[in-house]
Amino acid sequence: MSPRARICPALSAVLEGLKLARRELAGSEADAPRRRWVSVALVSALQAGLVAALSGYESAGEGDVADPSQPDRIAPVALLLRRARSAEYLNPPELLELPGRVVRDIEQVVTARNSVLHRPDEAKNPPVNEAFRSVLQVLQQVCLTHPPFPVKEHGVMLALIRDEISALQRALAPIG
């Protein structure tokens, strides 16, 4: 699949991840264990958002989003995030420049996601809202504020993503 052809499905996955995160966050008010699925949904959305961003340049290649150990698979979030923070892959203003706190927050959400999927008995304490907000901050930048892909082709999808990010930010604000 060409890099440009990855953008639309990636943005669809961002939207679906954000919708799931919002649904599970709302459901966690009545059923607290559902909150752990917010991490799963946000990591999925983040991975897809990073794929869209790293696929946006004309010079993007298959290897920009591939896992080096399994080239037929998408790289894990940590590697995609490292690439999105590297001038080798993106140029300012698309280049992600994140404070250490945001990177640590994202690592916390990824760890929580891994616990939910691979060690469900240990997945008791979901990340705090600040960690979720850090993921939303990165998605805001790569999809809306400084997307490296042509936005004109994806206007409706990006508007829906903007709405979901805003709704999640509002939902996370009073709880934090």
Q: Which of 135, 54, 34, 141 is nearest to 93 (CA)?
A: 141
Q: What is the pLDDT of residue 1?
A: 73
pLDDT digits (tens, 9 = 90+) for 53-104: 999 999 999 899 999 999 999 999 999 999 999 999 999 999 999 999 999 9
Q: Is the pLDDT of residue 125 over 80?
A: no
Q: Is the pTM of this model over 0.85?
A: yes
87, amino acid identity: A
Q: Which of 101, 99, 60 is nearest to 83 (CA)?
A: 60
d(CA 169, CA 12): 20
pLDDT digits (tens, 9 = 90+) for 126-145: 678 999 999 999 999 999 99
Q: To the nearest whole number, what is the mean pLDDT of the chain? A: 93
Q: Is the pLDDT of residue 107 over 60?
A: yes
Residue 119 binned pLDDT confidence (cut-offs 50, 70, 90): confident
Q: What is the pLDDT of residue 6?
A: 95
User: Vertex 78, ends 142 and 115: CA angle to 5°?
Assistant: 115
Burial of 162 (0-12, 13-18, 19+ CB in 10 A): middle
User: What is the percent of the chain where pLDDT is above 90?
Assistant: 85
Residue 176 binned pLDDT confidence (cut-offs 50, 70, 90): very low
Q: Is the pLDDT of residue 166 over 70?
A: yes
HEC string for the chain: CCHHHHHHHHHHHHHHHHHHHHHHHHHCCCCHHHHHHHHHHHHHHHHHHHHHHHCCCCCCCHHHCEECCEEEEECCHHHHHHHHCCCCCCCCCCCCCCCHHHHHHHHHHHHHHHHHHHCHHHCCCCCCHHHHHHHHHHHHHHHHHCCCCCCHHHHHHHHHHHHHHHHHHHHHCCCC
pLDDT digits (tens, 9 = 90+) for 29-51: 999 889 999 999 999 999 999 99
Q: What is the pLDDT of residue 173?
A: 87
Tell me which of 175 and 60 has the higher pLDDT: 60
Q: Which of 151, 150, 108 is nearest to 131 (CA)?
A: 108
For the chain, the domains span 3-172
